[in-house]
Amino acid sequence: MKNTILSVGLLLAVAQALFAQDINWRTEEQHKNVLQAYFGADYSSYYGLAYGRLVQIKGQSLAIGSELTVPFGSDIVDDWRLRTSVQTELLRHNLFALTLKPALIVRRYASPMARIYNLGADITVLYGYQGTRWGLVTLANYDRSISAHLAHRMLKEDYPAIQDGWYNTRSGNFKFGMRAGYSGTSWSGFLVLGKHFGQNFRDNPTLPFFADLSLQKRF
């Protein structure tokens, strides 16, 4: 019930910066740098800042960058997520394109119960229409948590034999959604909406939906 109440409560406010550094490759003027601010909700409410740089390697355009996401809350440094990604168009047909975006993720979680450092990786696939101004693409993402270091606090009071240390987490979440975007001469705005699931489609996140609103400046 608690899960349900939380889910319903968060539903309207709804990806953990999954979509920051989104690139519209069709803008009339291609700048080299991208700065993006975003906020939204997925797992919990959050805000963040991303920086990316467009580079050419062997004729292939790539966007390389990092994003730092912090949940809202009274303690702004206890939980965060740092994601470093590379983005490129794999296929293009007129104004339709298939984009691939692999990333490495480092996360920190802390509460009175425990502190966790986590290493993960994710991959996002986007496909859809992207004009010089407007774009609408579908997306699929798999966020794989690989390993975590657990240090217990209050949980140790309840269970003194609990073992701190590195654990295999070997699990992940899927995300499926849509991204709408509008681009001006040197800026873009993006709205992302979707739904996510645990990889077994049973142990799902409390909040089943996500949303992300971002504003991007290119220079």
Provide, rounded to whole angstroms, the least separation between the CB of residue 106 and another protein: 11
Provide, rounded to whole angstroms, the least separation between the CB of residue 133 and another protein: 28
Contact 175, 143 (CB under 8 A): yes
Cα distance between residue 4 and residue 31, in whole Å: 44
Nearer to another protein among residue 37 and residue 110 (C-beta): 110
Nearer to another protein among residue 94 and residue 163 (C-beta): 163
How many CB atoms are located within 10 Å of the residue 93 CB? 7
Provide, rounded to whole angstroms, the least separation between the CB of residue 94 and another protein: 23
Nearest to 102 by CA among 21, 14, 42, 34: 21
Contact 62, 46 (CB under 8 A): no
Provide, rounded to whole angstroms, the least separation between the CB of residue 28 and another protein: 26
Provide, rounded to whole angstroms, the least separation between the CB of residue 9 and another protein: 3
Nearer to another protein among residue 65 and residue 181 (C-beta): 65
**Bridge partner list, 38:** 48, 214
What tokens were used for 92? 């293009």
DSSP helix, strand, coil percent of the chain (3-state; round to 5): 5, 65, 30
Cα distance between residue 17 and residue 41, in whole Å: 9
Nearer to another protein among residue 116 and residue 188 (C-beta): 116
